[in-house]
Amino acid sequence: MDYLEVEGARGFVARLDHGGDWRAQIEAFAADEGVRSAFFIGLGAVQDAEIYFYDQDDREYDAVEFDEPLEMAACLGNVSDLEGEPFAHTHAVLSREDGSTVAGHLNRATVFAGELYVRTFDVPLERAHDETTDLDLWPL
């Protein structure tokens, strides 16, 4: 395991815009505030969602679309640079009216309502291609 000591720099609470994209709004916020590394948690509701599942054999993301209202029961993620731009690596647990859930790597979702807590760190993090997984990971 590689690791890096970080200290919390700034904290934010945010309300996501109705009708906007969940992940894109986090990335726009990071760009506006110059955030180069952060973790975040969030909750709320979305009008639809696209979840990715990483196929470890094929080394590709498979997308699954959900075109229905869903509760954002839990969202967590981090922000770091990917090819010079903020990337919000976002995972979500989404629930339906009957309480059943879908979950995974959130590519996009149209916000109905959303609340975030963001903690930024004092060091920049930049993703780089990892040969073992074929993913863009942190070279710590």
Q: Which is nearer to Zn ion, 44 or 77 (CB)?
A: 77
Q: What is the nearest approach in angstroms of Zn ion to the Cβ of residue 62?
A: 13
Q: What is the nearest approach in angstroms of Zn ion to the Cβ of residue 77?
A: 8
How many angstroms separate the Cα of 109 from the Cα of each of 20, 24, 48, 85, 96?
Answer: 8, 9, 5, 20, 15
The two structure tokens encoding residue 104 = 């995974």
Q: Which is nearer to Zn ion, 10 or 59 (CB)?
A: 59
Contacts to Zn ion from residues 16-45, by CB under 5 A: none
Of 58-66, 71-79, 101-109, 116-124: span binding Zn ion (CB under 5 A) = 101-109
- Choose which of 105, 108, 119, 127 interacts with Zn ion (CB under 5 A): 105
Contact status, residue 48 vs residue 65, Cβ threshold 8 Å: yes
**Facing residues of 26 across strands?**
none
Distance CA 15, CA 72 (A): 13
Residue length, the chain? 140
Q: Which is nearer to Zn ion, 36 or 89 (CB)?
A: 89
Q: What is the nearest approach in angstroms of Zn ion to the Cβ of residue 95?
A: 19
Contact status, residue 64 vs residue 139, Cβ threshold 8 Å: no
Q: Which is nearer to Zn ion, 105 or 127 (CB)?
A: 105
Q: What is the nearest approach in angstroms of Zn ion to the Cβ of residue 32?
A: 24
3-state SS class at 27: helix
Q: Which is nearer to Zn ion, 44 or 104 (CB)?
A: 104
What single-letter DSSP state applies at residue 21? B
List of residues contacting Zn ion (CB under 5 A): 105
